[in-house]
């Protein structure tokens, strides 16, 4: 589960990118990816039109099915990915990991930049940060799945 503030920009963008990367890795039938927000302010809203535009420009599917929702205390997942340190603090009972901690080239702040108040370039930059960490997340999950199989067989 990927978590940002309102669940209309960063986390649904990451959800879409991760679904595509897991499918490309042959793991789509083994991994469920979803997203939520720490706030209810956007509850029920679709993906922000600017986020959809940048995703489409980069060849990602952007179906109309997403509706923002707030994370709940019982939203237990094997991996909770927080987009910022502030989100991680809000999610501490769910043992979150920072999304960008999987980007091997990330330096400085590991927060995924919030494009909401910016323009088209801010959404491009946000997508670039998401894509840079996505393969590391896929590798991490692939390793976890392999380790789980080993535990089952021993």
Q: Which residues are catalytically annotated? A: 4, 10, 114
CA distance 134 to 34: 14
User: What is the Cα 27 distance to its own chain's centre?
Assistant: 16
Structural contact between residues 11 and 38, judged by C-beta atoms closer than 8 angstroms: no
Structural contact between residues 112 and 118, judged by C-beta atoms closer than 8 angstroms: no
> In terms of C-beta density within 10 A (0-12 exposed, 13-18 middle, 19 or more buried), how is residue 71 classed?
buried
């Amino acid at each position: 589960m990927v978590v940002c503030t309102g669940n209309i920009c960063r986390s649904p963008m990451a959800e879409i990118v991760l679904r595509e990367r897991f499918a490309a890795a042959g793991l789509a039938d083994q991994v469920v990816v979803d997203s939520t927000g720490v706030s209810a302010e956007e509850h029920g809203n679709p993906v922000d039109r600017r986020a959809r535009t940048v995703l489409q420009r980069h060849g990602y599917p952007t179906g109309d099915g997403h509706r923002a929702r707030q994370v709940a205390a019982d939203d237990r997942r094997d991996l909770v990915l927080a987009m910022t340190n502030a989100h991680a603090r809000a999610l501490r009972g769910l043992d979150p990991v920072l999304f960008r901690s999987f980007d091997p080239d990330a330096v400085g702040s590991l927060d995924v930049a919030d494009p909401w108040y910016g323009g088209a370039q801010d959404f491009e930059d946000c997508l670039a940060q998401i894509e840079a960490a996505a393969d590391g997340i896929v590798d991490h999950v692939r390793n976890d799945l392999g380790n789980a199989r080993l535990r089952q067989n021993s």
